[in-house]
Amino acid sequence: MTGSHPLTRRRFLYAMAATASGALLPGIGRFRANAADNPVRFPSTEHFWYRLAPPGRYIDSQRGRKAFAYADDRLFLSGDNGRTWPRSLAFPDARQITFSHILKNGNILFATRTKLYLSTDNLKTYRPVVVKAQDGSDYTPHTPQNPANPGWYFHTLPGIISWKVRGREMLVWGNYCNVRGGAAPVNIYYSIDSGRTVKIAYAFGQNPHFRDNGSSGGGPTGALLGNPDNPVICRHVHAVAYNPAEDAFYACTGDLDRGAGHECHWLKGIYQAQTDTWRWTVLVSTQSNTRYKSGGITFVKGRAYWISDANGPEPHDRGIFCCAAADIPYPERHTRLYNPQVESGCMIIQDGFILASHCAPASPLKTGFIVSPDMGKTWAQHDLAELGHRSPVRFHEKNREGWIRVDLRSGWIDRAEVLFIKPK
């Protein structure tokens, strides 16, 4: 099953004509609305409705009926999909939040650039969480050369970062860093107790190209960061995913080849619950113009699905791929389901609906989405051009009303708006 259907002008016009009222909207304010509103009021493509979050607070994560948000100096919690926000709490560093996740039991784990916090009582209170290193000691963030750029220790690109593992929820994620906010070491974190304890599952090595030199993304001078005993280096983690068929985790990293070794890797991790330890294997280390520079890893019935962010020297080995988990290291055993012919790094699969996105700086579209409503049998691309130049990332699973939550980033990194998408 392969296919390559670039967004032609006719397809673009059809997708845009499918918006509400059958006409292009004059501005994004027309479809900023609460989840309580009927979706038929919102603009749509042939495959989904969409709406922006109402102004006033940034809705950073959702789960079931709950949504977590922040404004200038406060945190907010909704229990009705964002209709009302009865819980709020003063938090002076709210605008520095780079990560949040709502766990199944209702706990909320959130972080600023270098500090991690947990609320266990529906945001009545919160407390700091000290990360534990692999040897059991406290893991302390480095002292930054520039206090304004301490590093993004916990920021991540996927919205799905916890899974039911052997009967309990397990939270596992890696930090997407060294692009904004200062240089940071690259780690994979985990929690088996709903965020009460967070530990390091894997610590990448010291990349000489992302030292702490005080700049927003790090550089070739300054303090080295990371595990000095690990030769596996990267710039950041793109995705971590769980395959229940194997009881195994997979992680992929980026970005380029800068002369110090490959930064694009796929790793497989086995968590050993009896000893609370990990066994990691590097499956692939390769260049940036291959399908392994990727994201959006998802497992469905034991098969791996992912989308390529390939760039660098041409030709680019791009597309949405799938294969048996055991065949990940063997490209000849992969199936390319679709090729959007553009860098794409985020994807979600839920209820047979595949939703992925374009990286705006590399795309001919302004806000590009890739869609398959039938698990890869048919494909389409849609440009929500009225949103401006945006990269959709951090896809959260549907809330109780069926809306997928999406970060819209200006360029690729800087937060802009929050978009909700409801498959038809």
Sheet holding 127-129, edge to edge: 99-102, 108-111, 116-119, 127-129
The answer to whether residue 284 is domain-embedded is yes
Considering the domain boundaries, does residue 144 fall inside one? Answer: yes
Residue 387, C-beta contacts closer than 8 angstroms, at least 6 positions apart: 28, 52, 366, 367, 408, 417, 419
Q: Which two tokens stand for residue 205?
A: 């090595």
C-alpha distance from residue 328 to each of 158, 161, 292, 350, 379 (Å) = 20, 21, 9, 21, 23
Question: Looking at the domain assignment, is residue 151 inside a domain?
Answer: yes
Structural domain includes residue 87: no
The residue segments making up the domain with residue 230 are 130-339
pLDDT of residue 412: 87
pLDDT in the model for residue 26: 37
Residue type, 40: V
Polymer length in residues for the chain:
424
Q: Walk along the chain (424 residues) and give the pLDDT tens digit of each residue.
A: 333 344 433 333 333 333 332 233 334 444 566 655 666 689 999 999 999 999 999 999 999 999 999 999 999 999 999 999 999 999 999 999 999 999 999 999 999 999 999 999 999 999 999 999 999 999 999 999 999 999 999 999 999 999 999 999 999 999 999 999 999 999 999 999 999 999 999 999 999 999 999 999 999 999 999 999 999 999 999 999 999 999 999 999 999 989 999 999 999 999 999 999 999 999 999 999 999 999 999 999 999 999 999 998 899 999 999 999 999 999 999 999 999 999 999 999 999 999 999 999 999 999 999 999 999 999 999 999 999 999 999 999 999 999 999 999 998 899 999 999 999 9
| pLDDT at position 35 | 58
- In-domain check, residue 13: no
Give the per-residue pLDDT at 1.
35
Q: Return the closest-CA partner of residue 21 out of 49, 54, 59, 60.
A: 49
**Which pLDDT score is estimated for 16?**
35
Q: What is the pLDDT of residue 13?
A: 33
**Distance between CA atoms of residues 82 and 85, nearest Å:** 7
- pLDDT at res. 21: 28
Do the domain assignments include residue 171?
Answer: yes
Query: What is the total count of domains within the chain?
Result: 1
- pLDDT for residue 92: 97
How many other C-beta atoms can be found within 10 angstroms of the C-beta atom of residue 24? 11
- The answer as to whether 105 is a domain residue is no
* pLDDT of 27: 46
Flag whether 88 is in a domain: no
Q: How far apart, in whole angstroms, are the C-alpha atoms of residue 242 and residue 247?
A: 7
CATH number at residue 180: 2.120.10
Please compute, for residue 404, the number of CA atoms within 13 A of its CA located in the half-sphere on the CB side.
28
